[in-house]
Amino acid sequence: MKNKEFWHFNMHFVFIASFMLLLSIYRYYFTNLLTLRWRIWLTKLNLNLWISSKTVYKLDLNNNTDKRITEDIDR
């Protein structure tokens, strides 16, 4: 009888552990997917705002353009 109970509880444990593992994998995947989409959206938004304000035309494009973009974003 004890052997049968052991395997019964062991099967419950395997089922719960497998379910939690799959849940963890899906959570990790969707968190990274949403983070990536949010970063793409935010980058496009900032670039559009930066270009629409015509800041790009006011700059001397020979001097550290990437640094100026990050300064504009920080504001």
CA 43 to CA 73: how far, in whole Å? 10
Q: pLDDT tens digits, residue range 38-55?
A: 999 999 998 888 788 776
pLDDT at 2: 82
User: Is the pLDDT confidence value at 71 over 70?
Assistant: yes
Segment 14-22 mean pLDDT: 97
CA 21 to CA 14: how far, in whole Å? 10
pTM: 0.55
Q: What is the DSSP string of 24-67?
A: HHHHHHHHHHHHHHHHHHHHHHHHHHHHHTTHHHHS-TTS-HHH
The contacts of residue 55 (CB under 8 Å, 6+ apart) are: 72
